[in-house]
Amino acid sequence: MKKLKFLVLSFILSLLMSLKLSAQIITTVAGITPYGFAGSFGGDNGPATAAYLNQPVAVAFDSLGNLYIADEDNLRIRMVDTAGVIHTIAGNGIGGFRGDDSDASYAEFCDMAYIRLVNNCLYIPDICNNRIRKIDLSTNVITTCVGDGTPMCFDDTGAVSAVHVFDPFCVDVDYLGNLYYSNVCNVVHKITPDNQVYRVAGTDSVTGFGGNGGPATAAILNHPNDVAHDQYGNMYITDVHNNIIRKVDEFGIITTFAGTGVYNYNGDYGPATAAALNWPQGITCDGAGNVFFTDCDNNVVRRIDRNTNIITTVVGCGAGWDVDTGGFSGDGGPATAAKMYHPGGLAFDKDGNLYIADWLNNRVRKVTNVGVPLKARSVGKQSDDIISVYPNPARNEVNIKTEAAGLVQILDLTGRCMTQTIVHQTPATQNIAELPPGIYVVMFTDTNGNKRYVKFARE
């Protein structure tokens, strides 16, 4: 009998430990300002949990696991290293524009929003300087990627050196190396690797809602705020003032992915398109393509399952859009019992832990075990284990060999399909003699919808 009790007790303890290990627990990883107090600046070169932030709006990770914070009202980029120590890597705290082509710590910003990091470069939308800026983290030198400071909604396509940018809100980079940004003109733009700028969503300077089921470039948006891409070629846009999330598929067709357009908080455990949102802001995808976004004025983070389109709340205890649910509580406990205060940007670390810029709480918070771990992402990396292309460079014909059956498409750098064919694990020869010389992308889609990309040159 004693042995049986011991075994039962051991089983219960083991079960509790496993539940604890897999639980979605929330903690603070940066910031110490008490709830209700204004943010400030301080704490560099010490523990991030003892530092002072001032409305951190966005977060990002590098490949080493260092956390980057857009400390908006401090006009600085802060970095929390893997030991938990915080440093300022960009910005001197003075509003303005200066510092290009020099160490980023001396730079001035006007404002900043949703940052992204890829291939050891940090991209920053410098909002009222009307520029996208880039920090090469290997040298910490800052430069301007696009924009000359002129706030215009016109002359916004063409060579990157000649286009204007007006109040950019976000930056994202897809798996082909294209850079995207949204702006106050209600348009999402794409910069291709050959430094050409195109509109990919929205109708320039037109505000409202429309265009579902048609080309995204003919759609009408209302304050597109943040953009994210999954590994399947889809782009997601938080269409804030329309109170919905839009999806642009790999063929450029736009639909509503979540939200009814009504300001409210409901719909969990049902289709995302039947749920009510309240100012969706930051957005990201996990390693499986599930979509996470901050439902800002509901003070929650919500998840949309890629396969079922079911929406759930994964962080925050939002009680309803007409109830002031903002606050700070819950650290060390279940994420769905916590309080946040107007959360902004989101980012996953490589292990699937979610980091949240808890904007008006002046903190960055972490939630464990909430997402599928991210796969290694290196823009432009050859996927030779799945697909091979030869010769490369090629002149008249190119051979494409895959390890599985599926669809092979050759795309130009704007994403336009030039040729396509079905392959069955044997080399398929494509005639490319009519293609203009340049760089092209082979996109392979297997029967499960997974995509792989390889670049090649047409001589």
**Residues in contact with 8: Cβ distance below 8 Å, sequence separation at least 6, in sequence order:** none
**Sequence letter at residue 377:** R
Nearest to 356 by CA among 433, 301, 311: 301
What are residue 368's DSSP bridge partners? none
Q: How far is CA 185 from the centre of its chain?
A: 20
Extract the tokens encoding 117: 């990091």
Peptide bond into 280 cis (omega under 30): no
For residue 337, which phi and psi values (nearest 5 degrees)?
-100, 0
Nearest to 380 by CA among 59, 64, 120: 120
Note whether 426 and 263 are within 8 A (CB).
no
Q: What is the pTM of this model?
A: 0.81
Would you call 197 helix, strand, or coil by DSSP? strand
Note whether 95 and 103 are within 8 A (CB).
no
Residue with tokens 């910069």: 191
For residue 18, which phi and psi values (nearest 5 degrees)?
-70, -35
CA 71 – CA 191 distance, rounded (Å): 26
CA 229 – CA 324 distance, rounded (Å): 32
Pairing mode, strands 254-258 and 270-271:
unpaired
**Sequence letter at residue 378:** S
CA dihedral (259, 358, 174, 117) in degrees, to 10, reads 170
The number of CA neighbours under 13 Å toward the Cβ of 292 is 25
**Residues in contact with 269: Cβ distance below 8 Å, sequence separation at least 6, in sequence order:** 310, 311, 312
Extract the tokens encoding 231: 């590994």
Q: Which helix (H) or strand (E) holds 146?
A: strand 141-146
Mean pLDDT of the chain: 89
CA 303 – CA 309 distance, rounded (Å): 9
Residues 57-72 have pLDDT tens digits of: 999 999 999 999 999 9
Pairing mode, strands 291-295 and 300-304:
antiparallel
Angle at 108 between CA 103 and CA 110, to 5 degrees: 145
Note whether 319 and 264 are within 8 A (CB).
no
What are residue 263's DSSP bridge partners? 277
pLDDT computed for residue 438 by the predictor: 81
**Sequence letter at residue 207:** T
**Sequence letter at residue 202:** G
CA 248 – CA 246 distance, rounded (Å): 7
CA 129 – CA 166 distance, rounded (Å): 8
Residue with tokens 């004693």: 2
If one counts every other C-beta atom within 10 angstroms of the C-beta of residue 276, the result is: 20
- The DSSP call for residue 15 is H
Residues 328-375 have pLDDT tens digits of: 999 999 999 999 999 999 999 999 999 999 999 999 999 999 988 876
CA 149 – CA 166 distance, rounded (Å): 8
For residue 12, which phi and psi values (nearest 5 degrees)?
-65, -45
CA 203 – CA 185 distance, rounded (Å): 8
What are residue 11's DSSP bridge partners? none
Going residue by residue through the chain (459 aa), what tens digit of pLDDT does each one get? Answer: 555 454 444 444 443 333 344 579 999 999 998 887 888 999 999 999 999 999 999 999 999 999 999 999 999 999 999 999 999 999 999 999 999 999 999 999 999 999 999 999 999 999 999 999 999 999 999 999 999 999 999 889 999 999 999 999 999 998 888 999 999 999 999 998 889 999 999 998 889 999 999 999 999 999 999 999 998 889 999 999 999 999 999 888 999 999 999 999 999 999 999 999 999 999 999 988 999 999 999 999 999 999 999 999 999 987 655 556 689 999 999 999 999 999 999 999 999 999 999 999 999 999 999 988 876 544 443 344 568 888 888 889 988 888 788 888 898 877 788 888 888 767 888 899 999 888 788 888 888 777 778 888 888
Q: How far is CA 62 from the centre of its chain?
A: 13
b/e sequence 417-430, b meaning 16+ C-beta within 10 Å: ebbeeebeeeeeeb
Burial label, 84 (beta-carbon count in 10 A; 0-12, 13-18, 19+): middle
CA 115 – CA 88 distance, rounded (Å): 15
**Sequence letter at residue 49:** T
Note whether 165 and 183 are within 8 A (CB).
yes
CA 50 – CA 40 distance, rounded (Å): 12
